[in-house]
Chain A
Amino acid sequence: MNNQAVTNGIGSSRSTRRISKKPQYSRFTQQELPAWKPILTPGWVIASILAIAFLFIPIGLFSLFASKRVVEIVYRYDQDCLPEMYRGNATAYIKNSDANKTCIENITVPKRMDPPIYVYYQLDYFYQNHRRYVKSRGDKQLRSVGYEFLTKECEPEARVNKSKISSPIVPCGLIAWSLFNDTYNLTLREKVLNINKKGIAWKSDTEDKFGSQVYPKNFQLGQDMIGGGKLNEKIPLSEQEDLIVWMRTAALPTFRKLYGKINTSLEAHDIITVALQNNYNTYSFGGQKKLVLSTTGWIDGKNDFLGIAYLMVGGICLFMALNFILLYVFKPRPLGDPSYLSWNRKAAN
């Protein structure tokens, strides 16, 4: 500001500060944007509840029906396959590598089963979601050879000391270490029932997550404690589908994992002979092992819950809708009647 401007202060400030501070009118700043204002009118309420009811009841029926069609054979074998003499000391039996682990049982097919029939093993009370357990894996190591030494996450199953040199385990970690290693051989009428173990893992896992150049190394060498299955060191991880399936840790403490698929159909009353190797130790923590053969429906396996849930929700909605109709017919309230405003009601009293 120069002197002249100072002396003409009023004039100059008037000319420079001519920009009006008036807020520019816009529907946005005045909060008058076009808007949809929904109201819970009786019509809308009844229509929406009825719509839910009419949508849910058929879905419920359909799911229930689908679930009923699924044939499922569940056979718990961990107790049956324990020899008489080890009944009181199952852990000793399972740890004894010399003991005969083969176990032969017969199971009956209750209904005709159409292929594909899925063979699962089911573990109960096995916390694959335990914090110590889920963290103990080396995802980078599984994927590429370059990260072989990246075993920090894998403790306590990260490295082995081979002649004083610490070398990494591939695949490292508790999850891989505890790989399930029971095997099932099924025979139907003296004929081997072929279980297809190819394609049981997710395609995304075999292609991207598990490296085709990564081979098992130093796996399951521990002298003191064997966790579970061993891996063929000649086969890359991407083809070790049992491992890949196992490494998809289950969300819940009771879970199934895909063992293989049977592509022939089974007739009702067929008797299947299962020759299983009872290697896996669930005895030490009171877990259970089950063999499951199941067909599949549009909502996966046998599960009545969702059907019932849908029917219940649908039923309740139908009931509600009827109630609302009665309510609006017998006890209507005119919408937007100013006489219902509290001060008007007070004045009326």
Chain B
Amino acid sequence: MDSDESRSVDLHPHKPKDDSSISSNTWRAGSIKEVEVIELGSKARYGSRKGGSTSSMSMSMSMSMSRRDIRDEDARLVYINHPLKSNESFEFSGNSVITNKYSVLTFLPRNLFEQFHRVAYVYFLIIAILNQLPQLAVFGRFASILPLSLVLLVTAVKDGYEDWRRHRSDRIENNRLSSVLVNSTFELKKWKDIQVGEIIKLSADETIPCDIVLLSTSDPTGVAYIQTINLDGESNLKTRYAKQETLGMQEIESISGTIKCEKPNRNIYGFLGTMDVNQKQVSLGPSNIVLRGCVLKNTSWAIGVVVYTGMETKVMLNNSGAQSKRSHLEARMNKEIIFLSLFLVGLCSIVSLLAGIWLRRHRDELDIMPFYRRKDYSGEDVDNYKYYGWGFEILFTFLMSVIVFQIMIPIALYISMELVRLGQAYFMIRDDNMYHESTESRLQCRALNVNEDLGQIKYVFSDKTGTLTENKMEFQYASISGVNYNGEKTEFYGEQGGYYAKVGGLILRPKMKVQVDMELVRLLRTGDDPTISKKIYDFFLALASCNTIVPILVDTSNSGEKLIDYQGESPDEQALVYAAAAYGFMLIERTSGHIVIDILGDRQRFNVLGMHEFDSDRKRMSVILGCPDSMVKVFVKGADTTMFNVIDKSRNTEVVTATEGHLHAFSSVGLRTLVIGMRDLTPHEFEQWRASYEAATNALMGRARLLRKVAINLETDLRILGASGIEDKLQQGVPEAIESLRMANIKVWVLTGDKQETAISIGYSSKLLTSNMTQIIINNNSTESCRRSLEDALILSRKALTSGENARLLALIIDGTSLVYILDSELEKQLFELASKCAVVLCCRVAPLQKAGIVMLIKNRTNDLTLAIGDGANDVSMIQKADVGIGISGQEGRQAVMASDFAMAQFRFLVPLLLVHGHWNYQRMGYMILYNFYRNAVFVLVLFWYALYTAFTLSTAINEWNSVLYSVIYTSVPTIVVGILDIDLSRTTLLKYPQLYGSGQKEESYNGKLFWLTIADTLWQSIVAFFVPLIAYWKTDIDGSSIGDLWTLAVVFLVNLHLAMDVNTWTWIIHASIWGSIVATIICVIIIDVIPILPGYWAIFHLAGDGLFWVCLIVIIIASLIPRFVSKTLVQHYRPSDIQIAVEAEKFENLIESRNAEIEMIQSQR
């Protein structure tokens, strides 16, 4: 519903109006202001996950906001530890969540109401209502509402089942237990009974039952670590704080006070409130609230007061389903439906017009015609019986013919399509080839209406980090004071399976093993050269300390051994800390005041005197450590671009140049690089820094700006320690997958937030770029220069493509800054022109909204279908904009998955998804639509022809029950079964020849030509099926019911055999459905004909006892199908499609193989 709204909105990163429009999908208008900031915040992060900026931004934001007072009418007042008082004036909702739509009572009305939102059902309803008017009663009352009620029933059962499952999960959720303060003791209470104002105590690893404001935690400074994976999909730990004022309260029972906060809203990053406690007013911000669905980690307990419950919690308010998209094929089909509607109107007009003429011509005879007899003599007065005048008769005939010919518009098709998609999804989900063992995850079909689009994709837009790569950072190379340690690697440090530390009898091991460099290990251990050892020592100390990582101990099966899991916001930092641990610098403990590092078996405690967190301006972070030897040191790590500005190059020039060289080497093999520096602080410097640091932290206004200033003053004249190269490993099978996609003529565009060098190197390693490609690099920062380079590139591309023999493939590499100037300007057209000539497009340093902008660039200018695949929150916009959005359910949580149509574990699964299932889905669906047009039209046409022989009065020879059951029982099942199960080509062939995917891109299974051919075939078949019995039984004593049965059987046999002729793969299920339908038809016809009170009593038996019937039936079937059979054969002979040849090859190859096998057998026997 809101998809349409968002579809129409053009997306561009620098128009704030559009920024908000995309978020309005998920957030209510009231919170747009804050959301914008979030969007911008995540934009600033680009693709690389150098964390911190989001939280710092929203924090500074909230600080300035909390100064503002909340107006009373917009506020919610919570009395701490007084649930009764809190709830008496306001009716806060309880903590039970209700995600189900219906209850037993409301199910019927609500479900019906929702179902009738669909046009198809309204059409059904109007037809059924029309039929209830006595003048128009074509079908009996029951027969006319049967199809509609059947459809409603099926849908209602489906909806009811889904809702029952929601009910069940809600019940489980609502009955979970938490400990709540009741009468001064903590008691276990069901989640659904928790009320606003109550105080809750949470233990480690417990899920938070509702939104709470923290009062105190096990940490003396009031820190609580939480994991928000259920909320925003980010797996790292975040910190929340209890206010100083409530921390000290030992007697939690006696606490009293009030909290005044905002009304419930959807903004998960914002919270505003004040707390009056102990006659002091304290302001509350987003860092003080813990939201439902989060998990408490690394904190043994936390106590908080409930402010929002149940449906009013932020997570529940954000619970909106995936938006609906409509498939390309369906949109295409709707055009044909319009034609069919016109055709229907045409048929009805012809009939009503002719009926009018007939009435006019016989106007004098109508009174006494034995089969019309207009006059009714039974009453006192002689008046007209059911005759309303010429004009009305025409109108009624028209409406009646609409009722009779209603299935011309294949409404049942929409329902069949839904069932087919459901079935296809079932098989896609269960495909072993898309099952990822290590994460135990399989494909998820989240949207059920774009299955067939998977078979027509022409553009794939892929994220890099986490999508092409694993997003498991691995420390690879270290350059320490100008020496590149990239020698021989070994899995183990020593023999005991990696480095470990002993703490009080416990063995601590890092959770992840990192390969270490032998030379480096030797240097560290032996300490041959003290100066080098010292530098290496500082380097690793920097890695272990200069971060925000929290070590968490995890139990293992061995009670004497624990694993250390390093939790943090940035995977790069995790990799660095794991690396440091592997070399013997193991971070064991972190509190807000100190860290403990086990350095080569020696447990050392460092005081963390201060920390300047990462921000996107400085692009670096620093930590001030008080070392055990009471030295004060500053360690800084950051991006090379900003680090070299603050490094004192004069001191050791050769180290700096060597490091620069190494950095270039690292990034050109696709590594992510960081530069590390340090300096010692003299006591004087330290004091100076501390004074300004404290002043800044305590500042009320402009705290962030002041802190940054302090940091910049501190981070100068650094001594370079070295640089690190972290590898983000390519996922398994990515190069092969990209190769397959390329062969399938799918253009793969990579959109990444990474640096250009990294992007290019990943491009090479994933075989996206090859050495025989000409690279066009666009890297500008003004509109004018962009225009120039685009023009140059276009000239170059024309040259490259027209140079005949030496034609080279083109690769376009463009960065986000250039895109800012190009997208949303007249240059867009040129970019599109250029990009469409390039085999590969790499966009680096792009912001999330630019990703969507690039998708729209293609979508606005072509009809080609696009697919976006990504794993992070920054891919959401592009996933929503593309025709098909795919989320990788990997490291980065669920945000992308929530927005996607399909979710899978690995990029390489794209290949079976598109080439195999996409192809199957497309060709099945394409055929099914055409077949449904045909099967309905052929029946309608038979009815129409008959109307011409009944004085245009629309009486039908075919029994009304047969008409109704025709689309319900006689012909419905096989088309659905074939739509789900038919396989034109085996998986092996489709994967072997990815080019076969072209059939979907070229719309070979459904296009205008096929539609018109189908219509022509339908016309021919209906003529044969109708006129053969007509002529054969002309001037005989055939009665209406008998010939009606003949027509019914003829059409049903015809339609089913027509399908049988086009089935590619005859499994037993297809056999059963097709032959079963025919048998079911016969049975139904017989049942209808043994009811004595119907006019057609016993007709079928009389009919079948007569040779003429069988002769008619056979000639109808053969004569109808021969043109189709012959033209199919001729097309296959003269213009075989690729699929046709592959089908033959499949069969032929088997023969060859078995023959070869036989020969081998014979030879081996000799």
Contacts and interface: CB of A to CB of B under 8 A. Distances in A.
Interface string A145-168: 000000000011111110000100
A64 to B, nearest CB: 12
A341 interface: yes
A320 B1092 CA distance: 48
Contacts of A178: 370-371
B385 interface: yes
A291 to B, nearest CB: 13
Contacts of A233: none
B371 A174 contact: yes
B1016 interface: no
A111 interface: no
Interface in B1054-1075: 1064-1069
Contact of A3 (B188, B957, B1028, B1147): B188
A184 interface: no
B1092 A209 contact: yes
B1138 A37 contact: no
Given A178-B370, A298-B1107, A127 B1145 contact: no
Given A224-B377, A301-B1036, A310 B1136 contact: no
A205 B1097 contact: yes
Contacts of B1068: 33
A7 B205 contact: yes
B1108 A132 contact: no
Contacts of B337: none
Interface stretch (A96-104, A189-197, A244-252): A244-252
A127 B371 CA distance: 6
B90 interface: no
Interface stretch (B724-732, B832-840, B1037-1045): B1037-1045
Contacts of A63: 1111
Contacts of B365: 284-286
Given A9-B205, A333-B1136, A205 B1066 contact: no
Contacts of B1092: 139, 143, 208-209
Nearest to A282: B370
Nearest to A331: B1133
Contact of B430 (A11, A29, A155, A324): A29
Contacts of B1028: 306, 309
Contact of A222 (B203, B370, B377, B1148): B377
A245 B1119 CA distance: 33
Which among B1035, B1065, B1093 has the greatest number of chain A C-beta atoms within 10 A?
Answer: B1035
B369 to A, nearest CB: 5
B1032 A305 contact: yes
A174 B1119 CA distance: 39
Interface string A121-133: 0100011111111
Which among A156, A159, A208, A299 has the greatest number of chain B C-beta atoms within 10 A?
Answer: A156
A182 B981 CA distance: 61
B1098 A204 contact: yes
Interface string A1-28: 1110011011100000000111101000
A252 B1148 contact: no
A159 B385 CA distance: 14
Nearest to A19: B440
B1126 interface: yes
B899 to A, nearest CB: 22
A84 interface: no
Contacts of A22: 435, 437, 440, 442
A324 B1128 CA distance: 13
Given A2-B188, A174-B370, A336-B1147, A156 B1107 contact: no
A34 interface: yes
B218 interface: no
A142 to B, nearest CB: 9
B169 interface: no
B352 to A, nearest CB: 13
A137 B1095 contact: yes
Interface string A291-334: 00000001111010110011001001100100010011001010
B555 interface: yes
B515 interface: no
A119 to B, nearest CB: 12
A85 interface: no
A126 B244 CA distance: 101
A23 B431 contact: yes
A342 interface: yes
A180 B300 CA distance: 100
A228 interface: yes
Contacts of A333: 1133, 1136
A159 B375 CA distance: 14
A7 to B, nearest CB: 6
Interface stretch (A38-46, A75-83, A235-243, A265-273): A38-46
Given A285-B369, A333-B1133, A37 B1065 contact: yes
Contacts of B1108: 299-300, 303, 306
A282 B368 CA distance: 10
Interface in B169-226: 176-177, 179, 188, 203-206
Contacts of B1044: 251
Interface residues of B, number: 104
A137 B1093 CA distance: 11
Contacts of A130: 371-372, 950-951, 953, 955
A222 B1038 CA distance: 30
Contacts of A222: 377
Interface in B1125-1147: 1126, 1128-1129, 1132-1133, 1136, 1138, 1141-1147
Nearest to B954: A131
Contacts of A69: none
A145 to B, nearest CB: 14
Contact of B1065 (A35, A158, A284, A303): A35
Contact of A161 (B378, B430, B1118): B378
Contact of A129 (B205, B442, B950, B1034): B950
B1115 A310 contact: yes
A258 interface: yes
Contacts of A316: 1122
Given A21-B440, A253-B949, A159 B378 contact: yes
Contact of A256 (B437, B1036, B1095, B1098): B1036
Contact of A156 (B385, B1094, B1147): B385
Contacts of B1069: 33
A327 B365 CA distance: 61
B1102 interface: yes
A1 B1097 contact: no
Contacts of B1097: 204-205, 208-209
A252 B1038 contact: yes
Contacts of A30: 430-432
B1133 to A, nearest CB: 6
Contacts of A258: 1037
Given A1-B176, A25-B432, A209-B1097, A284 B1033 contact: no
Given A253-B949, A341-B1141, A342-B1138, A224 B1148 contact: no
Given A38-B1066, A281-B370, A301-B1036, A336 B1141 contact: yes
Nearest to B1040: A251
B441 interface: yes
B1031 interface: yes
A7 B203 contact: yes
B583 to A, nearest CB: 28
16 contacts: A7-B203, A21-B441, A23-B430, A30-B430, A31-B987, A139-B1093, A156-B376, A156-B386, A157-B378, A204-B1098, A224-B377, A251-B1038, A252-B1038, A299-B1107, A305-B1031, A333-B1133
- 7 nearest CB pairs, A to B: A336-B1144, A204-B1098, A9-B205, A336-B1145, A156-B376, A178-B370, A131-B953
Given A227-B373, A333-B1136, A336-B1146, 10 more contacts: A127-B950, A130-B371, A133-B371, A158-B378, A225-B375, A251-B1040, A303-B1036, A305-B1031, A309-B1028, A320-B1122
